[in-house]
């Protein structure tokens, strides 16, 4: 069978997307490939189709142990012979899979990377015929990256032991540094590189000033994502627990996920999130690599991510199905203070700290930009958008920038005078009270009302002063130190105080524009798109799918995606031949579910 035949007959899709065809033909021809493609672009087919076309078994190395079962289930629904070996199998189960492999009865074998460290696995692999090696989540080989897996470093030996077997490494991490590191560490010297555009046009990017994060989150969820599945990221385990509780108390079905939870509970929560509709996962970044749930409608960050790479990966988990989704981040002064402190106290040498600092600075620049967020994001990955995107907060409601030089001078001279005249250091709160001329207990106690700067900042509100400080920190014109986040001057501060440097600041919108105020939830949008007579048919098919998925113990999307059901509802095919033309209906699913679908269609008039 040709690659195109496999695409049509097994997967039920009409045509290849982007550079899939080129990649697939290259690997079928025996070439090595390094594939950089954003989440949801269709990386899996790039090794699954060569697996079916080339003789032998494709060995897929993946760190996503918890997802292997799902991936294998999904392939089996398509009639593909797939199996996996990882630590969740007992010895008997493992022997069955090994025997299937040796007998040439598997098209794909998923392996956890630590398996390859053992001689047993290598000997087992030598007993079968290997079609290709696919190294998924290949950025895990990068030591500076955010998902480093030591076992990945050993993968370069695959080529030494099996020099004639093609290798394809895949990742959704796009920075040039990571890209080069993957090539070097995996020894992919001859590989062809395939780099796709990293734009995800269906994801709307929004970054808001953090005021009352819980209330803001609740408004976001209730206003725009009622009943929808999504992920809320927090920095600490403790805040994960608290936010999950808070959401539950407010009637939103939420589950916690972090590395401190008992293994069984954690795995159970992940599996519920994948299988059930409309759950919100509140998680640390321990959650999510490779989460292939297609209908995650939002990714919310309640704390500032440590780098743009991490942020882009995390937000990329929204909208794999291509439907409208939102990436929402609430960010404030406290985030900057906290992250700077974490860097200052982090282990590792000066170079390591500098590296962390650079990552943070890039993230801060993204938060404070008055330009298109998407353009900034792509520029970070060395790609150009060429226009503004019309689907981020700064494009939809352009923020103004204002000349903040005088405000900056007032703030900086407060810090300066406290230090110079009193030999004191204070945090943001006290400085703002001084500027606003507030006679709080703490101000009176320290006689700060006698400073010449007392009350000189009454022209701005407290929130505006916080924004000024936040942006000065982001621009390096002010710094924080110590456990209490006290403010201190930098070299840059001197330039501002000496009037040698103007300061442009971003104006916070009065009320953060709820860009999607008028946007409906995805379900409502879907329903609205469907003609009135089609909607009930779609709902009926969804109900059939939910029952079938439950019966088979697989997530609903493994049976059929929404897009496939929608097309079936709209076209109402009356024969198996007609049903076979729908995108996403391959031969195996046609044989398995075809007549059930036709009778389900006959049930709705």
User: Contact residues for Zn ion (CB under 5 A)?
Assistant: 372, 374, 389, 392, 395
d(CA 428, CA 431): 5
| Residues 318 to 347 in contact with ligand ADP, rule: CB under 6 A | 320
Q: Which is nearer to ligand ADP, 16 or 257 (CB)?
A: 16
Closest approach, Cβ 25 to ligand ADP, in A, equals: 14
Closest approach, Cβ 590 to ligand ADP, in A, equals: 16
Residues in contact with ligand ADP, shown as a per-residue x/- string from 392 to 421 under the rule CB under 6 A: ------------------------------
Q: Which is nearer to ligand ADP, 449 or 587 (CB)?
A: 587
* Torsion angle (degrees, nearest 10) of CA 372, 403, 339, 311: 0
Q: Which is nearer to ligand ADP, 20 or 486 (CB)?
A: 20
d(CA 159, CA 3): 25
125 binds, among ligand ADP, Zn ion, none (CB under 5 to 8 A by kind): none
Q: Which of 111, 105, 180 is nearest to 142 (CA)?
A: 180
Structure tokens at 63: 């760190």
Q: Which listed residue (24, 27, 39, 360) binds ligand ADP by CB under 6 A?
A: 39
Half-sphere exposure of 504 (CA within 13 A, CB side): 7
292 binds ligand ADP (CB under 6 A): yes
Q: Which listed residue (23, 36, 37, 477) binds ligand ADP by CB under 6 A?
A: 37
294 binds, among ligand ADP, Zn ion, none (CB under 5 to 8 A by kind): ligand ADP
13 binds ligand ADP (CB under 6 A): yes
45 binds, among Zn ion, ligand ADP, none (CB under 5 to 8 A by kind): ligand ADP
Contact segment (CB under 6 A) with ligand ADP among 42-50, 108-116, 149-157, 543-551 equals: 42-50
200 binds ligand ADP (CB under 6 A): no
Angle between helices 405-422 and 462-474 (to 10 degrees): 80
Half-sphere exposure of 136 (CA within 13 A, CB side): 27
Closest approach, Cβ 20 to ligand ADP, in A, equals: 6
Q: Which backbone phi and psi does 559 adopt, to 5 degrees? A: -70, -65
Closest approach, Cβ 10 to ligand ADP, in A, equals: 11
Exposed/middle/buried for residue 327 (C-beta within 10 Å: 0-12, 13-18, 19+): buried
Closest approach, Cβ 299 to ligand ADP, in A, equals: 14
Q: In 369-461, where does DSSP find H-type helix?
A: 373-380, 393-396, 405-422, 428-436, 441-445
Q: Which listed residue (43, 179, 359, 410) binds ligand ADP by CB under 6 A?
A: 43
Structure tokens at 173: 């991490």
Q: Which of 190, 189, 188 is nearest to 170 (CA)?
A: 188
Q: Which is nearer to ligand ADP, 77 or 292 (CB)?
A: 292
Residues binding ligand ADP: number (CB under 6 A):
15
Q: How many CB atoms lie within 10 A of CB 343?
A: 18
d(CA 399, CA 357): 26
Q: Which listed residue (3, 28, 33, 40) binds ligand ADP by CB under 6 A?
A: 40
Please provide the distance, in angstroms rounded to a whole number, between the alpha carbons at the two ends of the chain: 40
Angle between helices 428-436 and 405-422 (to 10 degrees): 110
37 binds, among ligand ADP, Zn ion, none (CB under 5 to 8 A by kind): ligand ADP
Q: Are strands 167-171 and 130-135 parallel, antiparallel or unpaired?
A: parallel
Structure tokens at 202: 């269906």
Q: Which is nearer to ligand ADP, 373 or 561 (CB)?
A: 561
Q: Which listed residue (6, 42, 107, 134) binds ligand ADP by CB under 6 A?
A: 42
57 binds ligand ADP (CB under 6 A): no
Closest chain position to ligand ADP (CB): 42
372 binds, among ligand ADP, Zn ion, none (CB under 5 to 8 A by kind): Zn ion
Q: Which of 300, 302, 252 is nearest to 278 (CA)?
A: 252
Residues that bind ligand ADP (CB under 6 A): 13, 16-17, 20, 37, 39-45, 292, 294, 320
């Amino acid at each position: 069978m040709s690659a195109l035949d496999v695409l049509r007959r097994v997967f039920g899709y009409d045509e290849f997307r982007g550079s899939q065809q080129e990649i697939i033909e290259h690997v079928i021809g025996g070439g090595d490939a390094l594939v950089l493609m954003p989440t949801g672009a269709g990386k899996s087919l790039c090794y699954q189709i060569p697996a079916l076309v080339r003789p032998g078994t494709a060995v897929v190395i993946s760190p996503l142990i918890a997802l292997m079962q799902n991936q294998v289930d999904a392939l089996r629904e398509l009639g593909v012979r797939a199996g996996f070996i990882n630590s969740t199998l007992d010895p008997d189960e493992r022997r069955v899979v090994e025997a299937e492999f040796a007998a040439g009865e598997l098209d794909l074998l998923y392996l956890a990377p630590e398996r390859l460290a053992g001689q047993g696995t290598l000997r087992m692999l030598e007993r079968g015929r290997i079609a290709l090696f696919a190294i998924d989540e290949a950025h895990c080989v990068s030591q500076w990256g955010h998902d480093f897996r030591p076992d990945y470093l050993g993968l370069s030996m695959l080529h030494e032991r099996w020099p004639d077997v093609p290798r394809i490494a895949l990742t959704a991490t796009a920075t040039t540094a990571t890209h080069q590191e993957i090539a070097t560490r995996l020894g992919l010297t001859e590989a062809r590189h395939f780099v796709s555009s990293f734009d995800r046009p269906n994801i709307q990017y929004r970054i808001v000033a953090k005021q009352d994060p819980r209330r803001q989150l609740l408004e976001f969820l209730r206003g725009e994502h009622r009943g929808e599945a999504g992920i809320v990221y927090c920095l600490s385990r403790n805040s994960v627990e608290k936010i999950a509780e808070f959401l539950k108390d407010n009637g939103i079905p939420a589950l916690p996920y972090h590395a401190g939870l008992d293994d069984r509970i954690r795995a159970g929560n992940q599996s519920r999130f994948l299988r059930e509709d409309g759950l919100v996962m509140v998680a640390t970044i321990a959650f999510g690599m490779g989460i292939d749930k297609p209908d995650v409608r939002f990714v919310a960050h309640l704390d500032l991510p440590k780098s743009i790479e991490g942020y882009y990966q995390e937000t990329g988990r929204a909208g794999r199905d291509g439907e409208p989704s939102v990436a929402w981040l609430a960010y404030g002064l406290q985030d900057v203070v906290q992250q700077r402190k974490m860097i200052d106290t982090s282990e590792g040498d000066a170079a390591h700290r500098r590296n962390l600092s650079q990552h943070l600075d890039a993230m801060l620049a993204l938060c404070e930009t008055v330009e298109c967020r998407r353009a900034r994001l792509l520029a970070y990955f060395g790609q150009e958008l060429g226009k503004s995107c019309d689907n981020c907060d700064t494009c939809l409601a352009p923020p103004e920038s204002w000349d903040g030089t005088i405000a900056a001078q007032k703030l900086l001279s407060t810090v300066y005078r406290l230090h110079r005249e009193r030999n004191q250091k204070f945090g943001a709160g006290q400085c703002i009270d001084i500027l606003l001329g507030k006679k709080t207990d703490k101000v009176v106690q320290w006689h700060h009302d006698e400073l010449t700067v007392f009350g000189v900042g009454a022209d701005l509100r407290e929130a505006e002063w916080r924004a000024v400080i936040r942006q000065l920190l982001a621009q390096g014109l002010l710094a924080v130190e110590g456990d209490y986040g006290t403010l201190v001057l930098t070299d840059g501060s001197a330039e501002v105080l000496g009037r040698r440097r103007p300061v442009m600041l971003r104006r916070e919108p009065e009320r953060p524009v709820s860009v999607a105020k008028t946007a409906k939830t995805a379900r409502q949008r879907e329903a609205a798109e469907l003609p009135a007579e089609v909607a009930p048919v779609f709902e009926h098919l969804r109900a059939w799918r939910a029952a079938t998925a439950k019966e088979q113990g697989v997530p609903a999307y493994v049976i059929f995606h929404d897009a496939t059901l929608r097309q079936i509802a709209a076209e109402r095919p009356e024969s198996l031949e007609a049903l076979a033309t729908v995108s996403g209906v391959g031969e195996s699913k046609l044989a398995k579910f075809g007549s059930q679908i036709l009778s389900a269609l006959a049930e709705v008039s």
